[in-house]
Amino acid sequence: MLRANYHTHTTFCDGDNAAEEMVQRALELGFEHLGFSGHMDEEIHMDWPAYTAEIARLRAAYAHDLDIICGVELDTLYDPSSCPGAEYVIGSTHYVDVDVPFSRAVDYSEEVSQRLCDECFGGDWYAMCRSYYELEAQVYDRLSCTFVGHFDLITRFNDQMRSFDEDDPRYMTPALEAMEHLVSQGVPFEINCGAHNRGRKAELYPRRSLLKALHDFGGQILINSDAHQTKVLNGSFDVAVQRAIACGFTHVNVLAHTPSDSVEMRQVPLDTL
């Protein structure tokens, strides 16, 4: 089993459990590394000094048992200077870049998604998806992120809404263009299990055909649970590992502290998990 997770939420943002409860669950699971990644975006942003102080306290308290890393899930449209000292950055695109007096998040609700599409894109879901991926393509330029979070979050409600066909070239072409561009910049992508492990979607992010494309572009992966509760800290990891192998990947990346206290990315063979 993969004994690490780098996409972990707590009560400092919208998680249900305290950071120390997540640490205790990681120890139960035999984890070697645990990365915290609280939200910093226009709707959910943490008390950054309080968060970093608590993660530093936990890192020291559990130093002999677990490598704890202080990261952030930074949104593409948020201020990168909001999280000084973050040891890694998940670059996540939660919004479309439009000016509306309500949430512009693509993962807020079915109603908000439909309203965004109707009011900003004339009801054309493919136009909204193209706009989303044009913004997504900028995530590394804007944030210099360590890896890309939930690449195809725009599909959050599509299992229920069936608003667009995820095999249609009008959807796939802008997604693939964004992906190829980001791979050319050398930034890895996470396989995000968060919607799958909460029963919200049948697919992981990125879904199968995009994950295969990521492999074929020469991309690299991490596997993360996007846990907001202790019970899913390793939720759907088995599915993600199988999916990665099926798409041709041989290694998954992990982050770890070095003896000199920096954080480096290492590769672990998938067939050892």
82, burial (CB in 10 Å: exposed 0-12, middle 13-18, buried 19+): middle
Site for Zn ion in 202-261 (CB under 5 A): 226
Site for Zn ion in 150-179 (CB under 5 A): none
Which of these, 37, 57, 49, lies nearest to 84 by C-alpha position? 49
Site for Zn ion in 56-95 (CB under 5 A): 73, 92
- The smaller minimum CB distance to Zn ion, of residues 67 and 73, is found at 73
Q: How many residues bind Zn ion (CB under 5 A)?
A: 3
H-helix or E-strand spanning residue 216: helix 208-217
Give CA angle at 140 (139, 146), nearest 5°.
110
- The smaller minimum CB distance to Zn ion, of residues 97 and 124, is found at 97
H-helix or E-strand spanning residue 254: strand 251-257
- The smaller minimum CB distance to Zn ion, of residues 7 and 33, is found at 7
For the CB of residue 54, give the shortest distance to Zn ion in the complex, in Å. Answer: 18
Question: x/- site string to Zn ion, residues 100 to 139, per CB under 5 A?
Answer: ----------------------------------------
For the CB of residue 17, give the shortest distance to Zn ion in the complex, in Å. Answer: 14
For the CB of residue 195, give the shortest distance to Zn ion in the complex, in Å. Answer: 10
Do 86 and 104 meet the contact criterion of CB atoms below 8 Å apart?
Answer: no
Which of these, 127, 122, 181, lies nearest to 151 by C-alpha position? 181
* Amino acid letter, 80: P
- The smaller minimum CB distance to Zn ion, of residues 173 and 229, is found at 229
81, burial (CB in 10 Å: exposed 0-12, middle 13-18, buried 19+): exposed
Placement of tokens 């020469």 in the chain: 218
- The smaller minimum CB distance to Zn ion, of residues 92 and 220, is found at 92
Do 34 and 70 meet the contact criterion of CB atoms below 8 Å apart?
Answer: no
For the CB of residue 248, give the shortest distance to Zn ion in the complex, in Å. Answer: 26
For the CB of residue 149, give the shortest distance to Zn ion in the complex, in Å. Answer: 5
Q: Which residues bind Zn ion (CB under 5 A)?
A: 73, 92, 226
